[in-house]
Structure 1
Amino acid sequence: MEKYQKIRVVGRGAFGIVHLCLRKADQKLVILKQIPVEQMTKDERLAAQNECQVLKLLNHPNIIEYYENFLEDKALMIAMEYAPGGTLAEYIQKRCNSLLDEDTILHFFVQIVLALHHVHSKLILHRDLKTQNILLDKHQMIVKIGDFGISKILSSKSKAYTVVGTPCYISPELCEGKPYNQKSDIWALGCVLYELASLKRAFEAANLPALVLKIMSGTFAPISDRYSPELRQLILSLLNLDPSKRPQLNEIMAQRICIRALMNLYTDIGSVKMRRVEKPLAIVTPVSHGRVGGRVTSGRSRGGLNNSGSGKSGIPLPLSSVYSWGSGILSPLRLPMLNTEVVQVSAGRTQKAGVTKSGRLIMWEKPQVTSGKYDIFKFHIVVYHNRTISQYDYILQYITILYLRVSDIFFALFSDRGIIMTFGSGSNGCLGHSNFNDVTQPKIVEALLGYEILQVSCGASHILVVTNDREVFAWGRGDNGRLGLGTQDSHNCPQQVLIASEHEAQKVLCGIDCSMILTSKNQILSCGNNRFNKLGLDKISLVEEPSPQNQVEEVHVFTPVQSAPLNQEQIACVDIGTAHSAAVMETGECYTFGSNQHGQLGASTRRSSRVPYLVPGLQGVKVTIVTCGDAFTVAIGAEGEVYTWGKGARGRLGRKEEDSGIPKLVQLEESHPYVVTSVACCHGNTLLAVKPLVGETIPR
């Protein structure tokens, strides 16, 4: 006890006394639970030891933190986090008859769900979930589950039989003496939610037999009609007499009513983010100011410029511009834009989409009827935000999107909460929802709840993600070993990919029939189809062609690249096309490898080699971004210049030219210095976003 100074007794329980103490080392208030062991029965000692064992396993912002335990004066002392806001039961009691608003109820509820999900993920039952065991921080905004004294650690998915828990919260199967598992905690969760909504317990009676009868009948007074039908239905589902019909915790988190509260919650620190309030965005009609070269080397001095972005002799610049070419559009077409900044774009065979700085998802769709003349072809814009598109309204109005990926038939996006959502065609299981169903609205990939997603990539029929803890998950079509799971099996839900311990994933990329990982040490790992050595897996030097025994056609696990110089230099950027790939070294040099049928390696069409190729047409250019289409390549220079080479049919190169193995500049309709913020290629399409440098204006 020399490390703690007792302040006062804050509670007395069945097993002992609870002290509020000051930890001398850091002057932090902590709770010390003092449990006498000398007069305990064997079962009571086991319960005390069990609480320590359980607390050691749990680490979550919505669970009371465990510090240590020690013996002192024939008592077991358990040191844990102090929650000064009191219990949720006290909070409810102080409300008297003043009902909570639904947002507050759900704010508390989703935190309890997240905490219970963490508990169950450790194969632990709480077995005494109630408002008295749910604590609050000093601002009474953050929920902390505590009191794990009668928790049971499950060695498997076996069911527990012991009847324990506070009578008002016990489940019907416990009343009948039937076996139970996590679904009994779900029942208690329903009792807590009902109590939040009605300020009284769902089941109360004068004596235990009468209480058991009430619980067995499953009848309780309805909550106020001021609450939404979805909240009433959620309570009914949690308090279903049949345990098998109660939802799983991940199903609860994926329900529409919980999404808003879940998205507004910082699950890593338990704080609350205020919802963004924005004005509707107007559509800005693109105005041509004449074509200028992509490489901007003059006019970059900022002296004498108005930093507000407008001036007496100029008009304000657009916050950003988005260009598209390919699929018959022979030169860069500036798309109609919202008055906002697009920070990331992604393209599929027919889909074009972007993410704005404020976290909105926007898409450009081709009108059903066109003149057939691609030079005057126009897109119309679709805004997936607020109440613009009803079918996406409820979910996307509460999500701040950080990143999206577009495939030919589906979308993947993730939010600033690190949660990934998918929608579109479910063929090949590429949506990750444990089925092959199509989904018309963004739906959370439930298997990844609890993981903070860092980055996502989509192939034509598979997805890879990397988490904040550098774990990699893959799902979808598995032939050629593209998932990196060691087999060619397909999977309709996320599977963790095992990579060697010396490698730490930083970024994932999906090709048509292969995948790559860029590690934190700027090395490339590849798996899948290595035809033409497009993954760099052949064991070759810079000048020698590989012998037949050193040629690799296909690998099913992520393997470090073997081709020089890819296996020797630090890689800054890499991308995969249909039959070729490209990598940018930290020096800014660009190497291509794979098929050169249409000059997509930046060499003459006569070159047919499996050795990585340094693109000579980019000498003197420091490349920062490279991306690959079906048979062409796009590279972005450090000064905003855009180069293309390879197959030229149907406008792939952004100019009227057939195949070209020589990198050439693409002309954009920008009359002011700009930077490229994002570029994406898919099949024969390119989508590119640029923004003006701060302070520049368009001359009148």
Structure 2
Amino acid sequence: MEKYKKIRVVGRGAFGIVHLCLRKADQKLVIIKQIPVEQMTKDERLAAQNECQVLKLLSHPNIIEYYENFLEDKALMIVMEYAPGGTLAEYIQKRCNSLLDEDTILHFFVQILLALHHVHTKLILHRDLKTQNILLDKHQMIVKIGDFGISKILSSKSKAYTVVGTPCYISPELCEGKPYNQKSDIWALGCVLYELTSLKRAFEAANLPALVLKIMSGTFAPISDRYSPELRHLILSMLNLDPSKRPQLNEIMAHPICIPALLNLYSDIGSVKMRRVEKPLASVPAVSRVRPASRIPSARSRGGRVGHSPAKPGIPPPLSSVYTWGSGISTPLRLPMLNTEVVQVSAGRTQKAGVTKSGRLIMWEATPVGTGAPSLPGSIEHAQPQFISRFLEGQSGVTIKHVSCGDLFTACLTDRGIIMTFGSGSNGCLGHANFNDVTQPKIVEDLLGYEIVHVSCGASHAIAVSNEKEVFSWGRGDNGRLGLGSQESYNSPQQVIIPPEYEAQRVVCGIDSSMILTVANQLLACGSNRFNKLGFDRILSASEPSSEDQVEEAYTFTPIQSAPLNQEAILCADVGTSHSAVVTALGQCYTFGSNQHGQLGTSAHRNSRVPCLVSALQGVKVTMVACGDAYTVAVGAEGQVFTWGKGARGRLGRRDEGIGIPKIVQLEENHSYVVTSVACCHGNTLLAVKPSLEDISV
């Protein structure tokens, strides 16, 4: 408390004392909520912790701002914004019987509406919305909602069951003990709007049973006819006994009576952030097959960028394109996207996913073979799968910045540093403290309070890194792939201890192993070192390590030992089924592990544990690399895409059976492109490209 000076106690609640304080650094008044933790029950401690977590997620001009929290004198101190204008309940009480004019009511209401919309887009229910929790600025013009002590963070489709909240504002479904979702907050919002028009609560009674009967019957005093029919109808719709018939927040915001009030808000209150609307992609067929390689010049002859012919006059290039090959698709197939820009892709055993520039998660799904156009009579070409693309449901208001796919599950990272997972819950790889499957993205609640900056999924485990360089892992643990010092599996995130001299920056997960790229461009790894695919063997030169210098497994994150990898600055790495690849600061590509199918980039199918410099890429500055089950993909700084290794079932994106020497993959486009992201999983590859600056200028 040395940074603050207590002025007076302004409130006492169920959990503690509320102080008005002066922040010494800038002489600003703040509120400090003092919550004693020593005598608190487990539920009370969780509620206090929940308030901190919720406040960290929210940032809006109509929500009380959170500053910090700290422990002092066996109490949790939560520092937040001070609203000197008192509560909306006090404001209404001082009106006595003098009704507010409609413009004033709507001015207050739309601010509450914007704040609640922000809360719901963060997958949070307020669960105690009432006029006592709505605060005013000193001019009593700006409203701010607060008191998130009993809020609950939800997945978009989940429903809460606990009956909480102030009795006068609880919804009929809560009275019946039924599950509820955001529509209960809509009911409470309707109660607040009614109170603004009537200066009294919609539902009041002498005791709780009588109150419940009133709420269940939906009967309340009529609204004054001095107000417009539109306003009265809006209140009635929000207080509908059937939750499904209550309007959504976006429908209320679009209501004709609310639009003028929203537009008339002062600019210093805040504004609605406009986002480009991206149309859902229901059944767009896959387009653009590649031409035979002989008809397309090499990447070097085109300046090194993907593409081959100049842009057609008057036809702009697409914002981006995503190609796939493998699993029987022998040459690159452009996936359907309409006019959206994909900036990052990831592939799993069954999933193909991408993140758009606007923060949407896009998924591609293969339709059953035979549902596309009929092939020509006498055709001997194998039927190729068609793909449809769709934006993931339940993502409204959530901005995704990164996606990673495991075998049967997917993890998304939001711009607020929150991880959401969905898919198969086997092995506990979703991190939800159970083994249940989840169809829509659900927040990994154990990581709330940490700002996650990167996440990676292996076949059945996941690892994440926070902005404070903390590492967390969960899922299947055999071979030591979780880095927790054992082979135990965990269905919720566990903090990983790494050597103190290293700071984690990014993570890479494979089938049975994991890697960490550090801030200093060093590489740590754990898990199976079969064929020395993690570089654990103690190799000082190009000679093979002795048996005692070979390492088969590591249960904790350990620095790689094989020269020259232990001496190079490493910028990019990926680990496949039986081999790995890295890119150094000089743009060189090294591979290590099994070379049974030439996946190390040399035609000699050698049996060596020594890392291999891919000499065929000398002269090419490599920027990205990805490893599949027995093949490798590398991307050059000028956009060239090289593949090598096992060629069966189209793994290499070419009509050949594979070689150990890197060769360029040719894509068909009418514009020149640069590569933005590449991903491999098992025998599948995804490649995202966007127009080059030269092509855009043309």
> Do they superpose with TM above 0.5?
yes
Change over 3 Å in CA distance of 1:88–1:457 after alignment to 2: farther
Shift of 1:553: 0.9
- Of 382, 386, 392 in structure 1, the residue corresponding to residue 388 of structure 2 is 382
Deviations 1:319-372 (A, max 9, x none): 222222222222222333422222122222333232222233333332213379
Rounded Cα–Cα distance in structure 2 between residues aligned with 1:108 and 1:323: 36
Q: Determine the structure 2 residue equivalent to 1:241.
A: none
Q: Determine the structure 2 residue equivalent to 1:462.
A: 461
5+ long unaligned stretches in structure 2: 40-47, 72-77, 150-164, 171-184, 221-234, 254-268
Shift of 1:452: 2.9
Q: Determine the structure 1 residue equivalent to 2:299.
A: 295
Q: Determine the structure 1 residue equivalent to 2:237.
A: 226
Q: Determine the structure 1 residue equivalent to 2:350.
A: 350
Q: Determine the structure 1 residue equivalent to 2:517.
A: 518
Q: Determine the structure 1 residue equivalent to 2:625.
A: 626
Rounded Cα–Cα distance in structure 2 between residues aligned with 1:680 and 1:339: 22
Contact 2:366 2:388 in 1 (8 A): no
Q: Determine the structure 2 residue equivalent to 1:406.
A: 405
- Work out the percentage of aligned pairs sharing the same amino acid: 55
Rounded Cα–Cα distance in structure 2 between residues aligned with 1:66 and 1:366: 48
Contact 2:369 2:386 in 1 (8 A): no
Shift of 1:167: 12
Letter in 1 for 2:491: N
Change over 3 Å in CA distance of 1:24–1:636 after alignment to 2: closer
Shift of 1:105: 6.8
Letter in 1 for 2:116: L
Rounded Cα–Cα distance in structure 1 between residues aligned with 2:271 and 2:429: 33
What pairs up with 1:224-373 in 2 under 5 angstroms? 226-227=237-238, 274=273, 276-278=275-277, 280=279, 285-286=287-288, 292-293=296-297, 295-296=299-300, 298=302, 312=313, 315-370=315-370
Deviations 1:425-473 (A, max 9, x none): 2211222222222222222223333333322211111112222333222
Rounded Cα–Cα distance in structure 2 between residues aligned with 1:446 and 1:82: 29
- Stretch moving more, 533-542 or 369-378: 369-378
Rounded Cα–Cα distance in structure 1 between residues aligned with 2:696 and 2:81: 56
Change over 3 Å in CA distance of 1:191–1:281 after alignment to 2: closer
Contact 1:142 1:271 in 2 (8 A): no
Shift of 1:676: 0.6
Shift of 1:195: 6.1
Contact 1:311 1:697 in 2 (8 A): no
Secondary structure of 1:89's aligned partner: helix
1:669 aligns with 2:668: yes
Rounded Cα–Cα distance in structure 1 between residues aligned with 2:132 and 2:514: 50
Change over 3 Å in CA distance of 1:132–1:377 after alignment to 2: same
Contact 1:536 1:563 in 2 (8 A): yes
What pairs up with 1:15-414 in 2 under 5 angstroms? 26=26, 28-30=27-29, 60=56, 62=64, 65=67, 81-84=81-84, 86-90=86-90, 100=109, 103-104=113-114, 106-107=116-117, 132=132, 135=135, 140=142, 142-145=144-147, 196=192, 199=195, 226-227=237-238, 274=273, 276-278=275-277, 280=279, 285-286=287-288, 292-293=296-297, 295-296=299-300, 298=302, 312=313, 315-370=315-370, 377-385=383-391, 393=393, 395-414=394-413
Contact 1:290 1:671 in 2 (8 A): no
Change over 3 Å in CA distance of 1:110–1:601 after alignment to 2: same
Q: Determine the structure 2 residue equivalent to 1:153.
A: none
1:577 aligns with 2:556: no
1:559 aligns with 2:554: no
Rounded Cα–Cα distance in structure 2 between residues aligned with 1:4 and 1:583: 50
Q: Determine the structure 1 residue equivalent to 2:543.
A: 544
5+ long unaligned stretches in structure 1: 34-42, 47-53, 70-77, 118-127, 149-164, 171-188, 236-255, 262-269, 302-308, 386-391
Letter in 1 for 2:647: G
Shift of 1:638: 0.5
Change over 3 Å in CA distance of 1:85–1:316 after alignment to 2: farther
Rounded Cα–Cα distance in structure 2 between residues aligned with 1:109 and 1:329: 44
Q: Determine the structure 1 residue equivalent to 2:641.
A: 642
Change over 3 Å in CA distance of 1:136–1:476 after alignment to 2: farther
Secondary structure of 1:354's aligned partner: strand
Shift of 1:679: 0.9
Rounded Cα–Cα distance in structure 2 between residues aligned with 1:66 and 1:322: 43
- Stretch moving more, 406-415 or 508-517: 406-415
Rounded Cα–Cα distance in structure 2 between residues aligned with 1:412 and 1:600: 28
Shift of 1:595: 0.8
- Stretch moving more, 559-568 or 375-384: 375-384
- Stretch moving more, 130-139 or 582-591: 130-139
Letter in 2 for 1:471: E
Rounded Cα–Cα distance in structure 1 between residues aligned with 2:686 and 2:82: 53
Secondary structure of 2:548's aligned partner: helix
Q: Determine the structure 2 residue equivalent to 1:656.
A: 655
Change over 3 Å in CA distance of 1:65–1:617 after alignment to 2: closer
Contact 2:367 2:388 in 1 (8 A): no
Rounded Cα–Cα distance in structure 1 between residues aligned with 2:563 and 2:618: 19
Change over 3 Å in CA distance of 1:85–1:346 after alignment to 2: farther
Deviations 1:406-434 (A, max 9, x none): 23322222333333222222211222222
Contact 1:362 1:382 in 2 (8 A): no
Contact 2:348 2:406 in 1 (8 A): yes
Change over 3 Å in CA distance of 1:663–1:226 after alignment to 2: same
Letter in 1 for 2:472: F
Report the TM-score, using the length of structure 2 for normalisation: 0.69
Q: How many residues of Structure 1 are paired with residues of Structure 2 in the alignment?
A: 577
Q: CA RMSD in A?
A: 5.1
Change over 3 Å in CA distance of 1:346–1:329 after alignment to 2: same
Rounded Cα–Cα distance in structure 2 between residues aligned with 1:279 and 1:549: 58
Shift of 1:133: 6.5
Rounded Cα–Cα distance in structure 2 between residues aligned with 1:655 and 1:632: 13
Rounded Cα–Cα distance in structure 2 between residues aligned with 1:586 and 1:328: 35
Change over 3 Å in CA distance of 1:410–1:275 after alignment to 2: farther
Rounded Cα–Cα distance in structure 2 between residues aligned with 1:17 and 1:345: 48
Q: Determine the structure 2 residue equivalent to 1:425.
A: 424
Q: Determine the structure 1 residue equivalent to 2:473.
A: 474
Deviations 1:270-314 (A, max 9, x none): 98862524153785843767753562454689xxxxxxx9774x5
- Stretch moving more, 105-114 or 552-561: 105-114
Letter in 1 for 2:390: Y
Report the TM-score, using the length of structure 1 for normalisation: 0.69
Deviations 1:558-595 (A, max 9, x none): 11112122222111000000000001101101111111
Secondary structure of 2:639's aligned partner: coil
- Stretch moving more, 12-21 or 671-680: 12-21
Contact 2:646 2:658 in 1 (8 A): yes
Q: Determine the structure 2 residue equivalent to 1:250.
A: none
Change over 3 Å in CA distance of 1:447–1:226 after alignment to 2: farther
Contact 1:475 1:491 in 2 (8 A): yes
Secondary structure of 1:396's aligned partner: coil
Q: Determine the structure 1 residue equivalent to 2:154.
A: none
Deviations 1:62-106 (A, max 9, x none): 56658999xxxxxxxx99854355435346768959584784473
Secondary structure of 2:566's aligned partner: coil
Q: Determine the structure 1 residue equivalent to 2:606.
A: 607
Secondary structure of 1:661's aligned partner: coil
Secondary structure of 1:226's aligned partner: helix
Rounded Cα–Cα distance in structure 2 between residues aligned with 1:14 and 1:451: 30
Contact 2:66 2:79 in 1 (8 A): no
Letter in 2 for 1:356: T
What pairs up with 1:669-688 in 2 under 5 angstroms? 669-670=668-669, 672-688=671-687
1:451 aligns with 2:457: no
